Amino acid sequence: MRIEILVFDGVDEMDVMGPFEVWSHASQRTDLELALVGLAGPAEVTGMSGLQFRAPDGLGTPDALVVPGGGWGSRAEKGSWAEARRGVLTARVAELAPQLRWIGSVCTGTMLLAEAGLLKGRPATTHRSALTELEAFEVDVQRNRVVDDGDVITSGGITSGIDLALYVVEREYGVDVANDIAGWMEYDRTRDVLVTSSQAS
C-alpha cells in the first residue's frame, strides 16, 4: 500500500512528521510505501514554524492520501487557509479522491477536505478551533481524536496525526504491528477512535 502525504508551504510540521515517523517504522515491517509529495512535483517546503524539508516526489495516484493542515486559524498567507483560497490543491484532491482506497487528514487538513466537497453529510473531526467552521460545510462534526468513515479518515488537533497513523497501521496490518511501533516510539496510544457503524459491521 502506498501512502502519500501532501505537503505545502506553511504546513504544520507536526501534522506531517507525526504520521511520517509512524509510517516510516511501518514500512520496515510491512508492504507499506510512504512518500512526501508536492502538488505539482518535487518541492522544497518551508513549514509553519520555519522547518525546511524536501518532498522528493509529486502527487501521483497512491492507494491513500493524507492532507495535513497548518495556518488555518491565523489565516496565514501560507498554509491550509491560503491553499483553500487558492483552490488548486482542493480541486486536485477532489479529482483524485474517487480513485483512492481512502483519504485522510490531520488537524485543519480536514478543512481542505471540506473545501474539496468530500465531507458533506459525513462524520469528521478537525482541530477544536475550526469545529464551528467545519460544521458550516454540513459535516457531522465529531470531537474524537480519529474518525474512521471508511474511505475518509480524519483526525483532530496537531498531535492526533500520530494516532491517525497508528490507527491506520492497525486497520491495515493488525493491532500487534501498531502496538509494536507505538512501543518503539514510547508513545501511549489513544483509543479515542470513532468508527462509523457501517465500518464497524
The answer to whether the predicted template modeling score (pTM) of the entire model surpasses 0.75 is yes
CB contact burial 155-168 (16+ within 10 A = b; e otherwise): bbbbbbbbbbbbbb
What integer pLDDT is reported at residue 201 of this predicted model?
Answer: 42
Beta-bridged to residue 102, according to DSSP, are: 64
Mean pLDDT of 105-130: 98
- Examine the pLDDT at 176 and tell me if it is beyond 90: yes
Please, what are the domains in the chain?
Answer: 2-120+158-191 (3.40.50.880)
Between CA 62 and CA 71, with CA 66 as vertex, the angle to 5 degrees is 145
Rounded-to-integer distance, Cα 45 and Cα 49, Å = 11
Q: Which alpha helices (H) appear in 97-195, and where do they start and end?
A: 109-115, 131-135, 160-173, 175-185
Length of the chain: 201
What integer pLDDT is reported at residue 198 of this predicted model?
Answer: 61
Mean pLDDT of 186-192: 91
Mean pLDDT of 27-55: 98
For residue range 126-145, list pLDDT tens digits in order. 999 999 999 999 999 999 99
What integer pLDDT is reported at residue 199 of this predicted model?
Answer: 56
C-alpha cell at 180: 509494536
Rg of the chain over CA atoms, in angstroms?
A: 15
For residue range 141-162, list pLDDT tens digits in order. 999 999 999 999 999 999 999 9
Q: What percent of the chain has pLDDT over 70?
A: 98
- Examine the pLDDT at 118 and tell me if it is beyond 80: yes
What integer pLDDT is reported at residue 54 of this predicted model?
Answer: 98
What integer pLDDT is reported at residue 75 of this predicted model?
Answer: 96
Rounded-to-integer distance, Cα 72 and Cα 81, Å = 5
What integer pLDDT is reported at residue 194 of this predicted model?
Answer: 97
What integer pLDDT is reported at residue 190 of this predicted model?
Answer: 81
What integer pLDDT is reported at residue 197 of this predicted model?
Answer: 64
For residue range 61-110, list pLDDT tens digits in order. 999 999 999 999 999 999 999 999 999 999 999 999 999 999 999 999 99
What integer pLDDT is reported at residue 169 of this predicted model?
Answer: 98
**Average of per-residue pLDDT values in the chain:** 96
